[in-house]
A and B are shown apart, each in its own frame.
Chain A
């Protein structure tokens, strides 16, 4: 299981801009590196990150090998109503990992 760490508030007031932090454990192998035997390590990176809030996409990121291993993102969204915030990563082979955080808006 991919280790995912999310930092997001549980509650917010309507209209408040909240900070979201999302980290996934992944080597983000560039394909430019050689292993201890001198053989090329195959490229293996996460290509896409999508954050949806109550089903609507609020933030998206496209990654290239220039993103460090265990990619972390900090971004913001405006709290509008109570609902699930889903964080989803998809690698270049189509495999994806996701985690959902419930936000209550008062």
Chain B
């Protein structure tokens, strides 16, 4: 329990407001740190090798429009019985436009009971996010979803 009493990272409202404005200004600058579709492809190749990825089984849910790219609700679910013999091993979320292609990796197993994960992500602009699920038999399945981002996340320097 000791480690719970350490100082928590926190942001006060004033800092948040000020940096928010600075972040906005940064977005206006040329986007040098922005990734391309090729970066997302390279990351997928690095993670899964050149195994074939089939479309289907994976349902990725994002809002059609996000007013603020700093926090966009994401839900990914995979059509799998989640039994010992047939389950999802991991789900990787990849962005073609954020400065870093990988957003998150979730490791699941038969103990999950249900292959569904939700979180909130940052989006540096309008793009099509990909979710790739690896099954225990080694097969790969892909699902995609697009969101129009009105105000991009403050992550482009």
Contact = CB atoms under 8 A, between A and B. Distances in A.
A44 interface: yes
B3 A26 contact: no
Interface residues of B, number: 50
Interface size classification for chain A = 35 or more
Contact of A74 (B18, B117, B122): B117
B117 A73 contact: yes
A77 interface: yes
B150 interface: no
Contact of A26 (B9, B102, B104): B9
A11 B63 CA distance: 33
A69 B119 contact: no
B121 A72 contact: no
Given A65-B100, A68-B121, A75 B106 contact: yes
A35 B116 contact: no
Chain B interface mostly: mixed
Contacts of B117: 61, 73-75
B111 A60 contact: no
Interface of B: 3-11, 15, 18-19, 21-23, 26, 33, 70-72, 93, 95, 98-100, 102-114, 116-123, 154-157
5 contacts: A33-B157, A60-B107, A72-B120, A73-B117, A74-B116
Given A67-B122, A75-B108, 15 more contacts: A26-B8, A33-B26, A33-B157, A34-B157, A36-B21, A58-B109, A58-B111, A60-B106, A61-B106, A66-B103, A67-B104, A68-B70, A77-B113, A96-B3, A97-B3
